[in-house]
Chains A and B, each alone.
Chain A
Amino acid sequence: MKRITVKRGAYYDSVFLMLATRGLKGLAGVRDAIVAMATPMNVELLCDMGFPSAELDGLGPNDLVVAVDAQNDQAAEAALKEAFDSLTKKRNAEVAGGVAKVGSFAAALAHDPDANVAVISVPGAYAAREARKALQAGLHTMVFSDNVSLDDEIALKKLAVSKGLLMMGPDCGTAIIDGKPLCFANVVRRGPIGVVAASGTGLQETTCLIDRYGSGVSQAIGTGGRDMKNAAVGGMTSLLAIEALSADPSTRAILVVGKPPAPDVAAKVVAALRASGKPAVAHFLGAPIPADEETIAYASDLEEAALLVTLLADGSNDPASARARIRDDSGNNHYNRPGKAAIETIARAEAERLGASQRYLRGLYTGGTLCDEALFLAHAALGGVRSNNQTDPAWAMADPQRSEGHVVIDLGDDFFTAGKPHPMIDPAARAERLEKDGSDPKTAVVLIDVVLGYGSHDDPAGACVLAIRAAKAAAAARGGYLPVIASVTGTPADPQGYAGQVATLEAEGVVVMPSNYRAALVAIEIAKLAAKGGAR
């Protein structure tokens, strides 16, 4: 069933057209879709493909054509409606400067009565009230706000469960629902993997890596940090999300990511994954890693979690065969996971010119989960790392503004963000700290994250450039050299563009690794070499 719709004199940028095409191709019953300008060559192509030529007559390069090849009338009609809606919404969003402005939740609902998800981002004291309204109106609810009381969270989640609705949050920074990125989220392919995450940048890192490995995401559901961690909350949202993904025919494999859950909650989550009947991967940062089960793989890091679930969704029906495929890839590097030898080589090359006083790792993070991943690795490998995220009181930072010894800092922590924008939105505070710590004669290596996607700064890599130059120049002036190691959490379709951000960093002599995990390994290796007096 081949159908066409046309918008005359319609202009859209290429990225939007690509996203519109991807969105249509991901719809049920759609065999193929083309969203393109009606140039003579494209019209000829569409005619050759069997689309009705009468509807293409008289169109020109300034007209937009949406062509859908669907399995039946119903699917074609739904796809054309989706296309028309998304094109119209783009225009409407532009009309209102990107946001339809309303004064209340009721007005928002009246503005779009078909909406089935509400995103609440108001001061914490009011967030619970607004979330309750949304749930009572039958909407799945994402609460971006923090500072919602534990009692309110429990009550809201009980209400949500009773209605079969997802209550994501509070303090839920990211989700991808039906292909729509919410709050801080990346533009990833749609695909067979369902993600449940109690960590914002953990969700972003894994979904971006899944995209890079060639797979995609059916749904990525944020739960809020307390959902699994707090026994009283009991993982209510996580369990409902797993149940929903179990029933979702588009989801072939499930990934659960979070900080270590309360023991009872962990048992329930694992039981839910077993009961799902689908292969699954679980990764709880910093927690002991159990042995794989028949259908559940336990990953050691975010990168491994993303790769394992990609392989499980791609025909490796059990963890053992997925791990075998990873082992087989060793050396072929199909998934761009530089091994131990490559990491040591990179580290040696960077450590070669370190000055005698350069000793310490300085990790300066904008993403909390990415910070934790690097912190846990470095703390174990370097024999003690200070951080404002440290769970070991002996290594908690007395003054997070001052770096002493090995340090890995979460600059998105409340300590740094009171009254200021989060560093993923405005990286100025990170740049300032980077210049300060990078210029410290004792710093042997700087480790950073660069997080792309909606919500993030327009050019987070560019925002670091001057600080990196200044820090490297300071090291050079002392006769040393400052290695800067980074990873970029993002995809080619993100508004900032993955390749351009990598190029910006590499132009400044930054070593950009394919994941936060690999970047941390390189930085740790450099710090080890520095302790031995560099690679000289």
Chain B
Amino acid sequence: MTVGAIGCLAPGAPWSAPLAWVATKALALTHGDGAAVAIVGNIRDMDARAILIADGFGDFRAAAKASADAVVSVRLDDVSATLVVDGVDLLAVPTGGALRWDPRPALAAAAAAIASAAELTAAADVIAAMLAEGPADEVSVHGDGPFAVAFARLRADEAFPANIVGFGPGSTPAGDDWLAGYLTAGDLAGGGPGTSWPGLRAALAPRLGRTTPAGRALLSGALAGAPPAYLADLALAVTGLSGDGADDGLRLAVRAALGKGASSGRDALAGFLEALRHRPKSSDAL
């Protein structure tokens, strides 16, 4: 069992953070800086503040879950990530050789490789068609539930989309997912990681306290141009799309996104699509 990678925005060691919840693919910690840190077992689930346990994640997860009646935390220092239960070190995973996970160089190359607006339009068409295939999720910002109605109202407001931080269902509110997709596609179309929509970025930064720790972690990464792996994969899959049918990679990336969380992937795809359809200009779009 080793730590295989550490996200590029993970807080520098040493630190300790309490366990917030245990899900199938990740453990969430609430770090003292207000944003979550995830521990994951698959590179496909990485994000900028996550720690990847390359092998043995299942054992780590099981140990954390079985100890959930105690005070459980994870401590990261220079040599290991340690599961601590009631003040006692239960399981230490060495960090020697851990890679720094950072999608930004690849995303920068992808943005530079976009040859024409037609590529982005073709990608938007594929994503729109695939989003239309599935049933609208009743608890996302889609469908006709109260969140969807309110989302339509927020969209009409001049503060949109900065006004949807922390809005919607989920431990990562749907509005945050939407914004992460929007920023990622904006960066792809508008000059590279962390560069698009500067006015929106300036408006979002002070609003991060209005969302959950998980939402804050997600938005911190997206603002820095380092979205979660599934969104980075989606952006990379757009590159080189010719519109002549060679879109299998994009379809796979969209399908993988649709499988994320309860509605996270679907909401992020909606934001991604919106940005592809209304691409940033060289000046701020706000």
Interface of A with B (CB < 8 Å)?
Answer: 11-15, 17-18, 21-22, 25, 32, 34-37, 39-42, 45, 48-49, 61-62, 94-98, 212, 214, 458, 492-493, 495-503, 506-507
Contact = CB atoms under 8 A, between A and B. Distances in A.
Contact of A21 (B20, B166, B169, B265): B169
Contacts of A497: 259-260
10 contacts: A11-B28, A13-B21, A34-B146, A37-B173, A41-B165, A41-B166, A61-B210, A61-B215, A499-B265, A506-B251
B167 A41 contact: yes
B24 A458 contact: yes
A11 B171 contact: yes
The 6 A-B residue pairs with the shortest CB-CB distance, nearest first, are A500-B259, A39-B166, A499-B259, A18-B262, A41-B167, A13-B23
B228 interface: no
Interface of B: 20-24, 28, 30, 58, 65-66, 68-69, 134-135, 137-139, 145-147, 150, 163-173, 175, 209-213, 215, 251-252, 255-265
Nearest to B253: A503
Given A17-B262, A39-B167, A48-B150, A22 B139 contact: yes
Nearest to A214: B135
A274 B260 CA distance: 44
Contacts of B138: 21-22, 25
Contacts of A493: 262
A107 B78 CA distance: 48
B166 A95 contact: no
A32 B138 CA distance: 11
B65 A98 contact: yes
Contacts of A34: 146-147, 169
Nearest to B209: A61
Contacts of B24: 458, 495-496
B60 to A, nearest CB: 14
A446 B200 CA distance: 51
Contact of A95 (B69, B168, B171): B69
Contacts of B30: 11, 62
Given A21-B169, A37-B173, A41-B175, 10 more contacts: A18-B170, A21-B138, A22-B139, A32-B145, A42-B166, A61-B210, A95-B68, A492-B134, A497-B259, A502-B255
A150 to B, nearest CB: 39
Nearest to A94: B68
Contacts of B263: 14, 18
A215 to B, nearest CB: 10
A42 B20 contact: no
Contacts of A62: 30, 212-213
A39 B173 contact: yes
Contact of B255 (A15, A61, A506): A506
A4 B20 CA distance: 23
A500 B45 CA distance: 11
Nearest to B169: A36
B23 A36 contact: no
B162 to A, nearest CB: 11
Contacts of B213: 61-62
Given A21-B169, A42-B166, A61-B166, A11 B211 contact: no
Contacts of A495: 24
B170 A17 contact: yes
A59 to B, nearest CB: 12
Given A94-B65, A94-B68, A45 B167 contact: yes
Contacts of A15: 23, 261-262
Contacts of A22: 138-139
A97 to B, nearest CB: 4
B172 A14 contact: yes
Contacts of B167: 39, 41-42, 45
Contacts of A96: 69
A14 B261 contact: yes
A506 B247 CA distance: 13
Contact of A42 (B168, B171, B257, B260): B168
Contacts of B66: 97
B44 to A, nearest CB: 8
A86 to B, nearest CB: 15
A154 to B, nearest CB: 41
Contacts of B173: 36-37, 39, 41-42
Contact of A13 (B65, B166, B171, B259): B171
A492 B173 CA distance: 18
A39 B147 contact: no
Contacts of A498: 259
Interface centre among B22, B258, B259 (most CB of A within 10 A): B259
A42 to B, nearest CB: 7
A34 B23 CA distance: 21
B171 A41 contact: no
Nearest to B216: A61
A32 B259 CA distance: 25
Contacts of B165: 39, 41
Given A21-B139, A97-B66, A37 B171 contact: yes
Contacts of B145: 32
B126 to A, nearest CB: 14
A501 B20 contact: no
Nearest to B176: A39
A467 B17 CA distance: 39
A398 B45 CA distance: 45
B22 A94 contact: yes
Contacts of A37: 166, 170-171, 173, 212
B156 to A, nearest CB: 14
A11 B212 CA distance: 10
A11 B20 contact: yes
A157 to B, nearest CB: 37
Contacts of A499: 255-259, 265
Nearest to B70: A95
Nearest to B65: A97
Contacts of A458: 24, 58
A237 to B, nearest CB: 33
Interface centre among A14, A48, A212, A502 (most CB of B within 10 A): A14
B69 A17 contact: no
A383 to B, nearest CB: 35
A214 B143 CA distance: 13
A503 B210 contact: no
Given A62-B213, A500-B256, A45 B169 contact: no
B170 A11 contact: no
A475 to B, nearest CB: 20
A309 to B, nearest CB: 18
Contact of B169 (A13, A18, A97): A18
Interface centre among B137, B138, B171, B215 (most CB of A within 10 A): B171
Contacts of A25: 138
B130 to A, nearest CB: 10
B252 A507 contact: yes
A502 B262 CA distance: 16
A53 to B, nearest CB: 16
